[in-house]
Structures are given as C-alpha cells and as structure tokens.
Structure 1
Amino acid sequence: FYRVYVEDPSRVRLRGMATVRSNIMAVNTLAELLKTTLGPRGMDKIVVETSGEWFITNDGTTILRNIDVRHPAAQLLVKAAEAQDGEVGDGTTSVVILAAELLNRADRLLQLKLHPNIIIKGYKHALDIALKRMRELAKPASLDNLEILKKICETSLSNKTLGFAKKHMIKIAVDAFLHIIEQREGKIYVDKENILVVKKPGKSLRESLLVEGLILDKGVAHPLMPKRINDAKIALISSPLKIEKAWYQKTEIVVKSMTDIKQILDEENRFLRENIVEKLLKIGANVVLCGDAICEGVQYLLAKAKIMAVKRVGISDLWRLTKATGGKLVASLKELTEADLGKAQLVEEVKIGPDKLLFIKGCPRAKSVSILLRAGSRRQLDEAERAFNDAIMNLITLTDEMKYVPGGGAIEMALASIIRREVSNYQGKEQMAIMAFADSLEAIPRILAENSGLDSVKILMKLRSLHEKGEHHYGVEAISKRIMDMFKAGIIEPLKLKEQILKSAFEIVSTLLRIDEIFTGLEFFEELPKPEEKDVPPASESKKK
C-alpha cells in the first residue's frame, strides 16, 4: 500500500493493490454497517440527518441515502443499491453484503497472483450457473393463488416493525396490488403510480384502510357546500374558475352611487351563474375538482346550487382520478361536456383528526387505489410507508417472472452446492474464482444465523449436508431459530428479485476489480521536468537583468 503525493498532500494517487484494497475497505465499511439489519431478527439503526432530525429504520436503501459517503467505490455501491431498489424495490442489503463478500474473496485470489480479468471471468461463469439453476429450482406462481401472494408479502415484511398490524398491512397490500393489475396484449402490466399513499398520524396501523378510488388531502372549498354526494358526476378541470375580466379591462367604469356598485356586482354574479354554474348543472355535474383556484363568488354560487367543489387539487391526483373515475381532464370549462364527466358511487368529506380528507369511492374503473396509513407518530408512518412499498414492489416484481424461490438463505445455499459440483466442467485458474463465488453466496445464510443468535458454523455445516443430499429448500427460519423447509414455512421470494441481487452484486464487483488507479485532485504530475542545460538562468533572474 503506497501513496504518491503531488505537491499538495490532499492530492493522492493510489496504484495497484493499494487501489483494490482501498475499494474493498470502503465496500466492507458499508457492509459492516448494514449486515446486522438483515433478516427478521435484524437490528435497527438511528439515522441523524444534518438538520438534526432523526429516524429509526432497518431499510438498507434508506440508511445508504442518508449517510455521508465520499469514497468513489462506496458511492458506486450506493448508486447500485438505489438502482436495485428502483428496479425491484428490495434486496439492497443483500446486494451490499454479497458484493463485499465477493470482493474479499477476490482480494485473496489477487494475493495468489490471479489477474483481475481471470477472477471476473470465473465470477461470470459462476453467475451463469446460478441464474440457470435458480430457474430450475423455482416454482410457478399464479395471481389466483392468494396464499402465495400473502406469503411473499409476509417474507418482505418479516423484518419490519409493524407489530400486531402486520397481517392487516399484508391484506391491504395484496388487495391494492390486485386492483391495479391490467392486461395489455396478453401481458400483465402493473403501474405502482396507481397507488396513492396518504399518511395521517393518530390511532394505530390497524386503523389503516384501502379505498377503491382516491383519497385527496383536501376539504371542500366552501363550508356551505354539501359534504356527501351519492352517485357523483365529477368534472375534472385544470384551469381556475373565476370571472373573466377581459370584458371590462378596457372600459372606464364611473360609479356615482351605491346602486351602481350593486349593479356591477349583480352583473358579475349573473355572468358567473350563466357561464359556470348553469353550465355545470346543464351537463349534470355535481362535483367539481379544480387544479387551480376557485374565486369566492363561484364558491358561493356552487354552494347554493348544491355542487361540491375542491380547489387546488394536484395535477398527479387529477390524472389518477381520470383512471379511477373514467373522466377526462379538460383545460377549460368551455371544453367540458357530459361525456367528459367521471363517475363514482360516493364522494364524501371525512375529518381525520384536525384534517379534512375527500374520499372518492366506488369508482367504476378503479385502476387507481388509495391507502390511508394511520400510526401514532410521523416516524412510525414513514417506516410503515417504506414497509408497504417493499411489499408492493415484491408483488410487482413477481409479475415480471411468475416464479418464486425459497428464502431464508436456502436458494443461496442451493446455488453454492450446485456451483461446487459443476466447477469441474471448467479448467484453469477460473476454477478458483468459481469456488470463491460459491463460498460468497453462503454469506447470506451465515449472517441470518448470526443475527438470530445462532452458531453460524454449525448452521452452515448442517445446511451444506442437507443441500449436498438435494434438499435445496432448507434454510434458516430466524423466528423459531431452526433449519426448516422454506416452502413449508411460507418463506418465499420472487425469482426476479434474487436474480437481480446476483446481477447487481456481480456488476459492482467486476467494475471495482477493473480499477487499478485512483486519482484525487486535478493535477497528477509528481514534479515538473527540469531543464537539461544547467547554465541557463531561471526566468526570474533573466527578467531582473
């Protein structure tokens, strides 16, 4: 390990093994931070933000996003973990642990004078074996099998602090998932944006509920408006509802008495009534959701006409409403027709604590649903939202490849056993890298055992014995602290999730192993070349003469 300084000691240049070990050290730091959070008996972390705010979580992505990471290798790992979370919504902790283990094994091979490209090639062979055999070990899933969907959610929520509300949250997640599924050209399509999560502190998580439609964090615009509308005909408008002043902007108005003022106000009210209220009544609209302001005059007239109105609705909520109600979002009231109206069985204002929410229920095309999360504090709400996101993303990931594999480290042990058996099909030094990949996979069940307070060496020996006999479904059941058949225990994960974990870890490791030099600073020259002719005076002296 050596450093080459360039004039300023803050400008550092690392070469050769120093580069590799610097990268490995950075990745190991993150892995040590996250590995205790893995599994149902994983520990939580308190993360203190720069603003002084803090929260408790064991979600790998959330932890990585909120810590100050400066080393380039560690930053690369954080970006890869965020990409993993965006792609499948889970597995970031496993990616970091597996990447660190692969790099540590690679470090030992580098000390034995194996070239990084040979290690990468061996790892690639092992990855190909793992991906192929994992598909063979996977079992098919069906959207009609609710038990499988619930077990996948339960596995993803096993390390979340949801208490007695876990089963209730699983039911909400599965119901929401089934509501937003679409069939397009014979393929399953699921858009997570069709699920709106509204968080309100108070009561407990068991009071959370699913609404087949939308929940708007808004109340009605005027206190005299109706608070409940059955058989709602909903107008969705993005422009403001107010008087058009163009008709008198270039006109000089002379007011001589209070009667003249009353006439002007009466004329404004007549204009608003004829051009806004009567237009809405004519096409049958009894609910107006506006993306901009509604002037007070229009609010009063709408209230007199028994029309419910909500102002300043977010544009994303308006688009969700078009999917749920079947209505059309129009830019101006002039464009609105009866065919553009959305429909809902019920639109109701509900008071939740000090806040007012608008519930839009019984939508005929409810491809959008809303989840109202309740909890005792904001921090509990945030953690519940992260848990719900993990559960939904696991279900969406399942639709990409309708297969699932055993969890609890069972699939990793199975792949390690299979790779060791097939390593004889390859020749040369690549065999050492393939074996290192197999050994690295065992880090997942080992850490699960350690976090559960078990003897990891004994657990690994027992699991190896079982998997050598072909019992590839056995893994660590952390709650009961036993080795069990994961399929029977209901601990299962989507195939696509496990594939993505292996691919992400391999990509990070192959990228870092190809780096043989790190430059810190803008200048990399150790020292400037000296002039060959010694009798030539320096430039400063020649100027003085």
Structure 2
Amino acid sequence: MYKYNNIPIFLKDVKKIVELVKSTLGPKGMDKILLSKNGNFQVTNDGATILKNALFDSLALNIIRDVCNVQDEEIGDGTTSVCCLIGELISEAERLRSIQIHPQLIIKGFRIATKKTLNIIESKSFDYSNDPLRFCLEILNVVRTTLNSKIISPFREHFSRIVVKAVLKLKGSTNINFIKIIKKCGGSLKDSFIEDGYILEKKNGISQPKKIENARILIANTSMDTDKIKIYGAQIRVKTISRLAEIEVAEQKKIFDKCKKIISHKINVFINRQLIYNRHERFFMEHGILTIEQADFEGVERLALATGAEIVSTFDIPSKIKLGKCKIVEEILVGEEPMTRFSGCSNGDMCTIILRGANFQILDEAERSLHDALCVLGQVIRDPRLVWGGGNIEAHIARELENFSKKIPGKTALAIESFSKSIQGIPRIVSKNAGLDSIDLINKIKNAQEEGQEKACLDLNKGDIGKADELGLIESSKLKAQLVISAAEAAEMIIRIDHQFSEKTPEN
C-alpha cells in the first residue's frame, strides 16, 4: 500500500535547502558550522560539504546533493552556485504554474533557454593559450577569482601562486593526485608553502642515511614482525622451553630469508606499510638500505604512482616485481617534524603543498579551498576557454535571453524569460550577501553592457560596478556551462514531479 503527498510540500523542501546554502555564495558570503553527534565540528562555506553532511530527511535534498556532487567531481567548484540556480529555477517554475502554464511547456522553454545559454557562453568565451605569457597571467586570475569566496581569500595572492606553480609542475597532466597536501598546525595560513618532490609523512629508520641518490625503491605490504610467533593463527603446545626456542629460531630464519630476497633486488630504499622490527631494520642498514615502516596506505599509493613502482607482498619471482625510481630520497624537517622527500620521480615532477594554520578546522577548510582551485585550474589546462567573472557573463546571458524570448511565440516565451531571471539571480544573491542593493547593481551592469561596456561586472569592494579585466575576475567557460546544464537538468526533474508517494506500513 502507498500513500501520496501533494507536491507543494516537496517544493517547500527545495526552497528550505536553497535558503540554507545561498547565504554562503560569493566573496562576502557567510560560513556554516557543521556539528556531528559526537561533538566534532567543522566550519565551511562549501556547498557540497554542507549538503553532504546535512541531516535533513527529504528527497529534494538527495536530488540537489547528487547534482552538487557531480559539479564537484566534474569541475571542482561552483557547487553553491548550482544549488542557488536550482532554487531560482524552481521558484520561477512555481510562479509560472500558478498562472496555469503546464509543466511540459515550462520544461520546453527551459530546454530552449539552456541551449541558447550554452551558445552565449561559447560566443563570449576567449582563449589565450596561444600566448604562453598572457595565458599564465590569466590562469593566475582564474585561481584568484576561485579563491575570492574561500577562507584563504585574505592570502589569495600567496595561494594563487602556489596553485599555479603546482599545476604547471605537472607539465600538461591534469591528474591532481600528483599534488599532495599536508596539514600541520602552527603558524598562520600565510606560512604555507610548496615543496618540490613528494613528501611522505614518515621519518627514516634508526641510524639510517639521511640522503640516498639514484634511489631504487621497493614498496611492500608484508609482515616483518616475527618477534611474536604467528603460524597461520594456530596454537602450539610445547613440553620444553628449548622446543619453543627452536620454533622462534625457525621463524626468525624465515624472516631473514625474506630480507635476503628483498636485498637480492639490488634496491637501496625499502618502504613497508607494516612494522619492520629493529633486528631486521639493522640487517637492512648493514646492507646500505634505507627503510621506512608503517607508511600510510594513501601515501604509499601516491608514492607508487609517482615513482612507477608496484606494491608487492611476495618476493619469490623477481621478474614480477616493479621497482620505483627517483633521483634523491632525503629526510627533511616540516615545522619540527621529520619527513622523507622523494625528488625527481620517474613519472613526473611531483610537488607537495604544506598548509599551516591555527587549528584543524582552518586547515580542513583551507584544504577544501585549495582542492577546488586545483580542480578548476586543471579544467582550464584541459579546456582553456575563459569568460569574464563578477556577474558579467550572467548579465550577458540574462539580457540576450530576454531579447530572444520576444521572438518566441506562445507561452514558451514566458519560460525562457523566467530562465533569464533565474540566471541573473546568481549575481543578485552575491551582491545581497555583500549587503548591497542587488537590483540597482544588476540594472547598472545591464545598462553598461548595452552601452558597449562588454566587461562590466560587480565590484563588491566599492559597492558599484567595475571592469572585469581591471579587477582580474576571470572564470572557466566549462565551469559556467556545466553549472547551467546541471541546474537545468535537476530543475526539470523536480518540475516533472506532481506527487510524492511513500510506502504505507500495514496495520497489525
């Protein structure tokens, strides 16, 4: 048995979710505290993080959360904008339904408007990839624009250069897994820095060499702790202590045979995910091999990717073992903690970003901010088309869609006009969050663009309009296109719903 609820309840949930998130949009947006049941908390203004952790029993939340996750995975940024645009589209659709316009006509108008919007974005985009110097300057502006609304915005110049340097070190690759971020409490955000090479958060073994050149690295996940007798988990009964000693000697011999097999691969660096006991560590040291024990899984996986190694657990067949290579392995100090740096890795020039901050909440949010900037810049390297930011492209879209709707006959024109109002809702929310007169500013931008000032945009610091090129406000064209596509598809899915059914529990 099933029962159904009227759809207005569903739409109220959508509005409630959007209201929760939209106050975080823009450079002047507010932050949210996410409090867990066990008392832990995090401070963030990232839309995807807020929705992912929100305890709100609603199908609307699941729909919007999935869309924001897709935006986060595809582009890395714009999750809050997607959520706000969905809310604007649903509000406009509800208004159209109140004047007896059928949902199918609304969907048809939104589809036409979406296609037209993508054409406008493409026509207004520009590409400086043929001019390397200009392109480097513009991608620096892209990162600055992305970081404008993040917790690290007061130091965006410092972090922008870190992000650009990190991505350029990938030499054309867009795999940001080659960039590791280490968080260490202490100092302030401006003390963060970038280090060449991959840094593993583990120190070398006791009395190990501090530096190895032309390293041949074996990465393993194998047991090296036979001080405790483990024979397949079995219990062994012995009558004399001498018999127990014989078993221990046999176990030790087995492990030393394993050590000899490891040495036979002519390596000079051995990294193990599990313990390496002191006796075996000393054995490796006597043969000039640097050892690192209990390396974390994620760190080992990335190190294997960087050095070209494969993680192994047995050493019987040398032909099936792939060693990693790098130019230098050395121990360094990060703050006051010793770590190991791998420079000149065989699979590209990796780097590590070390974040410093007053507490773990700031460091976690800074990491999310840097991740967004790295993802956006990776997309720009892949697709170098850019558009002017600060509400410029939204104003162009809204103005051209309004003119386009006048050429469309019938009620579909009203849906296209509503779509244009929804698009300009994004700069309206941004300016409202800054405490400014949003309607006045948006009208000023549209009037300036009609008078030929193509680069007119919001200047939130002055509370007026400015020029996007002078303010350095540039965004990825693909980010804007994906934002519109995701929001339009989610809105269409919600508009199509006319009843919400739920299973009715049978009576006893």
Scaled by the length of structure 1, the TM-score of the pair is: 0.83
Preserved contact between residue 27 and residue 74 of structure 1 (Cα < 8 Å): yes
Q: Which residue of 1 aligns with 2:118?
A: 131
Q: Which runs of 5+ in 1 are unaligned?
A: 1-5, 183-188, 526-545
Call closer, same or farther: CA 1:269–1:174 in 2, change over 3 Å.
same
Q: CA deviation at 1:203?
A: 2.1
Work out whether 1:13 is the aligned partner of 2:4. yes
Within 5 Å, give how 1:135-534 maps onto structure 2: 135-142=122-129, 144=132, 145-162=135-152, 164-182=154-172, 189-220=173-204, 222-241=205-224, 276-277=259-260, 280=263, 283-336=265-318, 340-352=322-334, 355-366=337-348, 368-522=350-504
Preserved contact between residue 40 and residue 479 of structure 1 (Cα < 8 Å): no
Scaled by the length of structure 2, the TM-score of the pair is: 0.88
Q: CA deviation at 1:50?
A: 2.2
Alpha-carbon distance in 1 for matches of 2:440, 2:111: 30
Give 3-state SS (helix, strand or coil) of 2:26's partner.
Answer: coil
Identity of aligned residues (%): 29
Alpha-carbon distance in 1 for matches of 2:56, 2:108: 30
Preserved contact between residue 283 and residue 337 of structure 1 (Cα < 8 Å): no
Q: Which residue of 1 aligns with 2:108?
A: 121
Q: Which runs of 5+ in 2 are unaligned?
A: none
Q: Which moved more, 1:379-388 or 1:88-97?
A: 88-97
Alpha-carbon distance in 1 for matches of 2:86, 2:214: 56
Preserved contact between residue 102 and residue 436 of structure 1 (Cα < 8 Å): yes
Q: CA deviation at 1:138?
A: 0.3
Preserved contact between residue 3 and residue 504 of structure 2 (Cα < 8 Å): no
Q: CA deviation at 1:283?
A: 4.8
Deviation string, structure 1 residues 312-368 (Cα, Å, up to 9, x no partner): 334443342233224444443334479944333332334546754222223243354
Give 3-state SS (helix, strand or coil) of 1:334's partner.
Answer: coil
Call closer, same or farther: CA 1:368–1:241 in 2, change over 3 Å.
farther
Alpha-carbon distance in 2 for matches of 1:257, 1:331: 32
Alpha-carbon distance in 2 for matches of 1:505, 1:83: 11
Alpha-carbon distance in 1 for matches of 2:60, 2:237: 70
Give 3-state SS (helix, strand or coil) of 1:113's partner.
Answer: coil
Deviation string, structure 1 residues 6-48 (Cα, Å, up to 9, x no partner): 9xxxx86324xxx1x3233212112222222111111222222
Q: CA deviation at 1:141?
A: 3.8
Q: Which moved more, 1:482-491 or 1:86-95?
A: 482-491
Call closer, same or farther: CA 1:298–1:103 in 2, change over 3 Å.
same
Preserved contact between residue 69 and residue 75 of structure 1 (Cα < 8 Å): no
RMSD value over aligned CA atoms?
Answer: 3.2
Work out whether 1:102 is the aligned partner of 2:89. yes
Alpha-carbon distance in 2 for matches of 1:296, 1:314: 19
Q: CA deviation at 1:255?
A: 8.1
Give 3-state SS (helix, strand or coil) of 2:54's partner.
Answer: coil
Preserved contact between residue 41 and residue 479 of structure 1 (Cα < 8 Å): no
Alpha-carbon distance in 2 for matches of 1:98, 1:256: 76
Preserved contact between residue 345 and residue 363 of structure 1 (Cα < 8 Å): yes
Question: Aligned partner of 2:137: which letter?
Answer: E
Q: Which residue of 2 aligns with 1:186?
A: none
Q: CA deviation at 1:205?
A: 2.4
Question: Aligned partner of 2:455: which letter?
Answer: H
Deviation string, structure 1 residues 346-393 (Cα, Å, up to 9, x no partner): 323345467542222232433543322221210111011011011011
Give 3-state SS (helix, strand or coil) of 2:70's partner.
Answer: helix
Preserved contact between residue 147 and residue 153 of structure 2 (Cα < 8 Å): no
Question: Aligned partner of 1:14: which letter?
Answer: N
Q: Which moved more, 1:147-156 or 1:327-336?
A: 327-336
Preserved contact between residue 215 and residue 370 of structure 1 (Cα < 8 Å): yes
Q: Which moved more, 1:143-152 or 1:348-357?
A: 348-357
Alpha-carbon distance in 1 for matches of 2:287, 2:139: 47
